[in-house]
Each structure stands twice: as C-alpha cells, then as structure tokens.
Amino acid sequence: MKDWFASQRILVPFDFSERSLEALRLACDIAGDQQKVDVQHVIIDWYPTHPSVVLTDFDEEAFTSKTSMQLEKTIREAGLPIERMELHVTIGDPGSKIAELAGELKASLVVIPSHGRRGITRLFLGSVAERVVRLSPSPVLVLKETESN
C-alpha cells in the first residue's frame, strides 16, 4: 500500500498543534522518500467588522506571507523534511478550503487529526475533520485522539 501512495499526492491540513505534526509525520512515512506532501494551513476568514480589519491596516497578503514563514519554521523545528513538502496557506472556512484543495490537487489521500472535542465545545467549534470527510472528493484518514493522547 505504501508504494501506491508514493506516486500520489497526500494532503495534510495543519493547525500548528502537536496532533498536526503527528499527522504530517505519518503522511511523510506513507509518501516515502521520493514523494512530496502538500501541507495546508487555513486562516479563518475575517468578516468586515472584525477588529483586526477595522482597527489595523489589514493586509491579507502580508498576513498570509507571515503565516507561511511560521509554517515553514514550525515544520523545520520539528525535524521534518520541508524540502519534500509544498506549503499552502489559504483564507476561509477550514473544512471547505481543505476539501477544495484536495480536489484541485486530485489528492489520493487527506490525513487529518481529530482533536476529539465533545459536547458543548464541539457544538460551538464544529468538527473540521467531520466536514472534510463529508466534502472531500478524496479519501480521508482521520487520526482519532486516543485516551493516551
């Protein structure tokens, strides 16, 4: 199975959490030594009256660029092979943007962690992993949080 994925594109949504680093490590293992892994961070969309838009000189391009640099720095500091990755920073609804990029890339697999939120927290925050499973045209591997995590 590992050989099959080595010739395909694997997408890993990344939210700077330790769980995202675990998903990225797994995707690199699945991809093998020759295949690049696509890494996507989605910045949650601003609304016109959001304080960062109203109270500052908001520059979407500068913010996206700074986020890209932080993404690369985080991956390097984790000791992961950044040269085998293509980084994508987008703005919008995370579940939708991840599924959209999976379609654009014709990804053969999306590897996403689940943070295991329950109850009222899940009600308000929603589940990005659940939304990606529903919307993605690609197969999705959800890394569920276990009791030991």
Averages of pLDDT over each 10 residues, the chain, 149 residues: 63 94 94 88 73 60 90 97 95 94 95 71 62 93 73
Q: What is the pLDDT of residue 81?
A: 93
- For tokens 């920073």, what's the residue? 89
Residue 47 Cα distances to 54, 70, 143, angstroms: 10, 23, 31
> Rounded CA gap, 24 and 7, in Å?
17
Q: What is the pLDDT of residue 122?
A: 47
Q: What is the pLDDT of residue 8?
A: 77
| Helix (H/G/I), strand (E/B), else coil: 39 | strand
